[in-house]
Amino acid sequence: MSEVIVVIGAGPGIGLAVARRFGREGMKVALLSRRGADMERAAAQLSEAGITARGYACDAERAHDVADALQAVVHDLGPVDCLVYNAAVPKPGGPLEVGLEQLVRQFRVDVGGALVAVQRVVPHMKAVRKGSILLTGGGLALDPWPQMTALAIGKAGLRSLALSLFKELKPHGIHAATVTVDGLVAKGGKLDPDAVANVYWELHQQKPEAFEAERVVRG
């Protein structure tokens, strides 16, 4: 039976590149994003390339949306073997400008959605003693830029979550890690999305004795 990868935040950069990379290896692909129609079109393009793919509408800010979408994925494609969380809100604002509501809303997307998704997929992974949870981090977690304060806080929180999950889940054979992307992702650039997608595949392929908690990729 083919493995299943779920990409939450399957935008045109890293998200879809990861979907294509894993799909070429024979995995079934579920694409989740607020823009459900875009995900259906992207899934159709993957299907034309011979990849089994489905698109789902999912607002990562809403816990019930994440839970319902993952339930639909399991029903349609099967249990989740790899979760990639790539959702984020890149809204600018300095530390003296960001309002509390904006900070909380962005944190719900940047970190909260990941937490909900992880808690939904881990029971199956524990039962079969394998699986990957790969969270897209950012250089802002390592070196914050004041004008992106809320996103920097979110990426720092996501990094902390990934490192905690790594310690919690490694004994169960589950690989949790963060791919910390430090730089601008652009086709043909130093951080080409297809090259970054290869990093996710390498982490998914690692054996338990070689699990990495973090891979930093820089442009």
| Residues 51-82: tens digit of each pLDDT | 999 999 999 999 999 999 999 999 999 999 99
Question: Which whole number is the average pLDDT over 2-12?
Answer: 95
**How many CB atoms lie under 10 A from the CB of residue 55?**
22
Dist CA 51 CA 61 (whole Å): 28
Edge-first strand order for the sheet with 174-182 is: 53-57, 28-33, 4-8, 82-85, 131-138, 174-182, 214-218
Query: Mean pLDDT, to the nearest integer, of 12-38?
Result: 95
Phi, psi of 196 (to 5 degrees): -65, -40
Architecture field, domain 4-218: 3-Layer(aba) Sandwich (3.40)
Read off the amino acid at residue 12: P
Spatial separation of the C-alpha atoms in residues 73 and 53, rounded to whole Å: 10
**Backbone torsions φ then ψ of 181, nearest 5 degrees:** -90, 110
Question: Chain-wide mean pLDDT for the chain?
Answer: 96
CA angle 208, 211, 217 (to 5 degrees): 155
CA atoms within 13 A on the CB side of 27: 24
How far is 85 from 54, CA to CA, in rounded Å? 17
